[in-house]
Amino acid sequence: MEHFGFPLETILIFFVVVAVSVYLDLFAHKKSTEISLRDAAGWSIFWVSLALLFYGYLWLRFDKSWADLYLAGYALEKSLSVDNLMVFMAIFASFSIRGILQHRILYYGIIGALVFRAVFVVIGTGLFLASPWVGFLFAAFVIWSAVKMLQQPDDDEDIEDYSNHWSVRLTGKLIPVYTKLHLDRFFVRHREIFEGAGGEAADDAGKSAGGVTRAGALYATPAFLCLMAIETSDIAFAFDSVPAVIAVTQEPLLVYAAMIFAILGLRSLYFVLAALTKYLVHLEKAVIGLLFFIGAKMALQSWNHAISDTGVHISPGWSLAIVLGMLALGVVASFVFPEKEEAEGEG
């Protein structure tokens, strides 16, 4: 069986493009100003265009089938990210984080996601290549993710309070916490909080005012606690999304490229979805259906390799068409039938 492998030219182009793009994004948002919907939409278009340019490169330089596998994985990861962003909204609300600080936290959160995704992709594809039987486990994982999404309540009245998340409690045990936001800082020094006071008097004043959890030279702010909740939540999402994308293609480089290009646009997409989420009422249903399809495809593929060839094979072109088609159907349905969802929410 032919493998895409790790062409040096592709690796260099991918990482150079990612590094330059991340730098440009950081430089463009260096000033602490509010992120406008227009700015977020413009950057979202930029990131999607960049992903499509990489698709064109794969098609022209190698073969359309490899390009289709990459694009199907990218579209799937992008759609799964929508559900992640809903959780991010709840996390920001729990810590009362708004505006430019959300963008700063998401920036560092995505840097962490680049690293963790690489680890999960290497482990996941390695396990799959080691034995085709692993595919059945991945298929079960993907279908389980779809079932979990089906079981989620439709109403948003009971939103989890992430300020008491286990990662927040663990961080509080490792480092003292200053319970108030301090500009856009993740950490603040003792003297910056209690300037003008000294020694134990400053510590007592801070505790009595509810400013710090305990005395220390350095304190974590709610911005850092929020970042920890974002990072750990993203790791949990990776357990769902990595097997799903691997179900589309088992080529490590294509899987990683698809996931990274999807993740890089998450910050801009977050601010767009914050404004549009109430309109995309049927998109999650399309994602659920897509996960069931991906799980079945993985199970079929594993059966063909591990047990006996059924003669049924889903080509990269068909996989791409089904992924894009179901997502498009979810978006179109959201705008064609918006009132029905709203009416159910009111009843």
pLDDT at 132: 72
pLDDT at site 201: 42
As a whole number of angstroms, the distance between CA 222 and CA 224 comes to: 5
For the stretch 317-332, what's the b/e string if a residue is b when 16 or more beta carbons lie within 10 angstroms of its beta carbon? eebbebbeebbebbee
Name residue 22's amino acid. Answer: V
Phi and psi of 97, rounded to 5°?
Answer: -95, 130
Burial of 273 (0-12, 13-18, 19+ CB in 10 A): buried
293: nearest Cα among 238, 228, 247, 235 = 247
How far, in Å, CA of 166 to CA of 160, rounded? 12
- Digit-by-digit pLDDT tens for the chain (347 residues) are 477 878 899 999 988 988 887 777 666 655 555 666 777 778 888 888 999 999 999 999 998 888 988 988 888 888 777 667 767 777 887 887 876 777 778 878 877 877 888 888 888 777 777 777 777 887 787 788 778 777 765 554 445 566 777 788 888 888 888 888 777 788 888 777 766 444 444 444 444 444 777 777 888 888 888 888 888 887 877 776 777 777 777 788 888 888 888 887 777 777 676 666 666 677 778 878 877 887 787 788 778 777 887 877 777 677 778 878 887 888 788 778 775 544 444 44
Domain ranges across the chain: 8-166+221-346
Instruction: Report whether 174 contacts 220 (CB < 8 A).
Output: no
Q: What angle do CA 291, 260, 258 make, to 5 degrees?
A: 50
Alpha-carbon distance 119 to 124, whole Å? 9
This prediction has a pTM of 0.70
Residues 72, 248 contacting (CB under 8 angstroms): yes
Q: What number of residues does the chain have?
A: 347
d(CA 325, CA 319): 10
Cα separation, 108 vs 104, whole angstroms: 7
